[in-house]
């Protein structure tokens, strides 16, 4: 990770088990240039491997969550140059993060920025947030999972309308069509995302990881295989101390103490 990249992505402790990943390239509306994407990939790889981290909040700074790929840096590129970037490796690092990720969308989430938000497991939007895949307006198309993640999240007809027009929608519309989990007043955004992350972080982390893995993998395989995968993961959780603790605490009518084992 270069020094330049470090300066656009920072990590901050938000409380027990919760880390904030913040993008700050506000002068470019947090456009995702290569150093920023490398830094995001490094952050998610690091946090994914840290047992102390149980939930991650991802946000932007200023008017944008992220305004997409860096257009200044892409305008004159050739196809071969785009291939040689191997950007999918950076996106995979975020996709592969086993911890629950909450996107706190504070403003524009456009193009690669909307795709970044869709890498999260939960999306909380401030009421002034805006979403869209405007790539078609600059002669390209989504390239960081947008066609596929949006289709799976929203279904064909809402997705096609957004992708084919490049329309930008507000937070209320995004909530209505299922692109966000919850909309809150702008001033409550970080408090709400943090509270949700702390709530999840207090729950058994191995159960959270299994839920995330099975839900995401299961979406793309035949139902019978997905149900078998779910059953195996469900059974596996009976090997954890947190399962014993959780169920005993319920039966003893006391609060459980989860240790992540």
The residue (of 143 and 260) whose beta carbon lies closer to ligand CO8 is 143
CB of 140 to ligand CO8, least distance (A): 6
Axis crossing angle, helix 146-154 with helix 156-165, rounded to the nearest 10 = 140
Scanning the chain, the segments in alpha helix (DSSP H) are 3-6, 34-48, 71-74, 79-85, 87-95, 112-118, 146-154, 156-165, 171-177, 189-201, 205-218, 223-236, 241-251
Minimum CB distance to ligand CO8, residue 62 (Å): 9
H-helix or E-strand containing 186? none
Catalytic residue among 31, 39, 69, 197: 69
The single residue of 17, 112, 132, 146 carrying the catalytic annotation is 112
- The active-site residue out of 41, 43, 93, 115 is 115
Which residues are CB-neighbours of 142 under 8 A, at least 6 positions away? 111, 112, 115, 133, 135, 150, 163
Q: How far is the CB of 212 from ligand CO8 (least distance, A)?
A: 23
Q: Smaller CB distance to ligand CO8: residue 87 or 194? A: 87
- State the DSSP H helix or E strand holding residue 27, giving kind and residue range, or none if neither: none
Q: How far is the CB of 98 from ligand CO8 (least distance, A)?
A: 22
Residues of this chain that interact with ligand CO8 (CB under 6 A) are 28-29, 31-32, 63-64, 67-72, 87, 108, 110-112, 115, 134-135, 138, 142-144
Residue 115 a catalytic site member: yes
Nearest distance from C-beta of residue 66 to ligand CO8, angstroms = 8
- The question of whether 68 is a catalytic residue gets the answer no
Smaller CB separation from ligand CO8, 63 or 192: 63
Cα distance between residue 63 and residue 80, in whole Å: 33
Between residues 26 and 192, which has the closer beta carbon with respect to ligand CO8? 26
DSSP code at position 61: B
Active site residue 132: no
Find the residue with minimal CB distance to ligand CO8. 111
Q: Is 230 a catalytic residue?
A: no
User: Could you tell me where the DSSP H helices lie in 49-170?
Assistant: 71-74, 79-85, 87-95, 112-118, 146-154, 156-165
Give the nearer residue to ligand CO8 in terms of CB position, either 139 or 222. 139
Residue positions annotated with a catalytic role: 69, 112, 115, 135
């Amino acid at each position: 990770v270069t020094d330049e990249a470090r300066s656009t992505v920072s990590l901050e402790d938000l409380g027990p088990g919760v880390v904030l990943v913040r993008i700050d390239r506000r002068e470019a509306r947090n456009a995702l240039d290569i150093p920023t994407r490398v830094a995001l990939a490094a952050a998610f790889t690091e946090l994914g491997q840290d047992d102390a981290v149980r939930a991650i909040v991802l946000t932007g700074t200023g008017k944008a969550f992220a305004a997409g790929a860096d257009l200044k840096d892409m305008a004159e590129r050739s196809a071969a140059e785009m291939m040689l970037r191997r950007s999918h490796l950076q996106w995979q690092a975020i996709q592969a993060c086993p911890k629950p990720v909450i996107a706190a969308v504070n403003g524009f989430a456009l193009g690669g920025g909307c795709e970044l938000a869709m890498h999260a497991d939960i999306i909380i939007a401030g009421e002034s947030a805006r979403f869209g895949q405007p790539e078609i307006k600059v002669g390209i198309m989504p390239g960081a999972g947008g066609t596929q993640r949006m289709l799976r999240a929203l279904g064909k007809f809402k997705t096609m309308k957004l992708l084919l027009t490049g329309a930008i929608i507000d937070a209320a519309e995004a909530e209505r069509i299922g692109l966000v989990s919850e909309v809150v007043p702008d001033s409550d955004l970080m408090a709400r995302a943090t509270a949700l992350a702390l709530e999840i972080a207090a729950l058994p982390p191995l159960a959270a990881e299994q839920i995330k893995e099975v839900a995401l993998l299961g979406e793309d395989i035949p139902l019978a295989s997905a149900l078998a995968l779910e059953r195996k993961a469900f059974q596996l959780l009976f090997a954890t101390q947190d399962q014993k603790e959780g169920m005993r605490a319920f039966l003893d009518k006391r609060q459980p103490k989860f240790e992540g084992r």
